[in-house]
Amino acid sequence: MTPPTLSSAELVDHLLNRIGEIDAAGPRLRSVVAVDPQARAAAIDRDAERRDGRVRGPLHGTPVLLKDNIDTVDLPTTAGSLALTTSRPRADASLVTRLRTAGAIVLGKTNLSEWANFRSTHAASGWSAVGGLTANPWALDRSAGGSSSGSGAAVAAGLAPLAVGSETDGSIVCPASLNGVVGIKPTVGLVPADGLVPISHSQDTAGPMARTVRGAAVLLDVLADTGGGFAAACSDQLSVHGLPDVRVGVARGYFVGHPPTDQVVEAALTLLSKAGAQLVDPADVPVLPAYDAGDDELTVLLTEFHHGVDAYLSGRTDGSPRSLAELVEFNRSNADTELAWFGQDLFERALARGGLDDPEYVAARTRGVRAARADGLDVALQRHELDLLIAPAFGPAWKSDLVNGDPRDVGTRCTSAPAVAGYPIVTLPGGLVGGLPVGIALLGGPGSEVTLLRVAQALEHALDLVASGALEPTFSPASPG
């Protein structure tokens, strides 16, 4: 979709034109909520630096889109809420500073599920009051997932080669899978979370989204400031040497029960076996429930959100609510726009939570971590001496429904245990089901990104979906079924 061998300025022009033709008009994906008016000037500067022999870093002159919950001083950061359109962050997030230092060009901000899908239990993924409803470029009536909806849809549609999303529980994995791109949810703490509009300090992380595993790895190297270790793991030699030293556990407990989706992973298992990987099938894994009333994860998220968002809002420039209580009142006063499709029950429940020293919160966090780590993923990985686990990421995208919100069961079980544990997930496109992408999730222990990326790269090469053009979205007005 992107012409080859363009200068940075030519590439930025091409992408801005494409955003105008496809995102703001044409199919109207609504994946980009703001473009940086200085992007072209920055691209011209990067081209001049390159001609002079100066290359800032691995992303020199590369345009990157940022989810609109990542602080930038020169662009609005709204989390999709009208309440934050009249104020600005006081500084760039640290990850944005790292991007700029590496030579990246911030092209703009992407739409998201408002407040990263933590305002209501009845929300529709991909909708925000600022950006409207993000459409899936494969079928415009289908969900782009959440909460990093715009980042996934924009990369799939060729609006930028790279984007940054964020995840608390599934918010990179879901849109990556539904839009047919690569997503990395890193080990919590690997990428600095300051300047990220918070939900949970114990689970939040930013992470890359890209068309290829190597592209995502290069971006992760910059976000994590690792000096190239992740990109080095994505060697083209993997297709030659195979994976004879890798033990992969098949997480049958995370299979979604949708035969065509599960079959995508079965086909990947055959490819891994041919590459020499040792499969352990099945590998026992914990299945934590998607959060609902009374769940430990939700207790933790509600408490940490109240604490974190109060601290975050107090640091914004004047003009926006300064606390969660003021934010709730703003939404009530602007109910015709903010509450047009769903309410703010999670906000109101968070207001009622105690502080971080509340015994109920401390006990819930302790129980959750034990269930996800020591009694869960750690046991599964250690019992079978596994390097990683494999499972479906999500099933095909569901039809968007602003009235009723997302279906209660959207076809995944693999994100909650790694979310609570703080462990990484790499998801890559596995194939098409009914003309819609479905992803494969690779899960590992803390700091296992190199292994996950190595296996993801080998699978990507064996599946041959990117090189064959099978992952070019169709922009169909509607999908069958």
CA distances from 200 to 307, 358, 395 (A): 9, 16, 26
State the Cα–Cα distance between residues 415 and 452, nearest whole angstrom. 15
User: 196 in helix, strand or coil?
Assistant: strand
Strands 32-35 and 105-110, by their bridges, are antiparallel
User: 30 in helix, strand or coil?
Assistant: coil
Which residue from 189, 158, 166 is spatially nearest to 469, judged by alpha carbons? 158
Angle between helix 449-463 and 259-274 (nearest 10): 100
Residue 323 annotated among the catalytic residues of the structure = no
Q: Which two tokens stand for residue 84?
A: 């934050």
User: 174 in helix, strand or coil?
Assistant: helix
CB 381 within 8 A of CB 250: no
Q: Which two tokens stand for residue 259?
A: 């035969």
Which residue from 358, 371, 376 is spatially nearest to 297, judged by alpha carbons? 371
Catalytic residue among 81, 171, 202, 416: 171
Residue 274 annotated among the catalytic residues of the structure = no
Residue pointed to by tokens 């060697």: 235
Residue 147 annotated among the catalytic residues of the structure = yes
Q: Which two tokens stand for residue 327?
A: 């934010």
Give the number of other CB atoms < 10 A from CB of residue 432. Answer: 17
Catalytic residue among 67, 128, 143, 166: 67
Catalytic residue among 31, 81, 147, 151: 147
Per-residue burial over 394-404, b = 16 or more CB atoms within 10 Å of its CB, e = otherwise: bbbbbebeeee
∠ CA 358-359-362, rounded to 5°: 90
Phi then psi dihedrals of residue 447, to 5 deg: 75, 20
Q: Which helix (H) or strand (E) holds 436?
A: strand 436-443
Residue pointed to by tokens 């408002």: 114
Active site residue ranges: 67, 147, 171
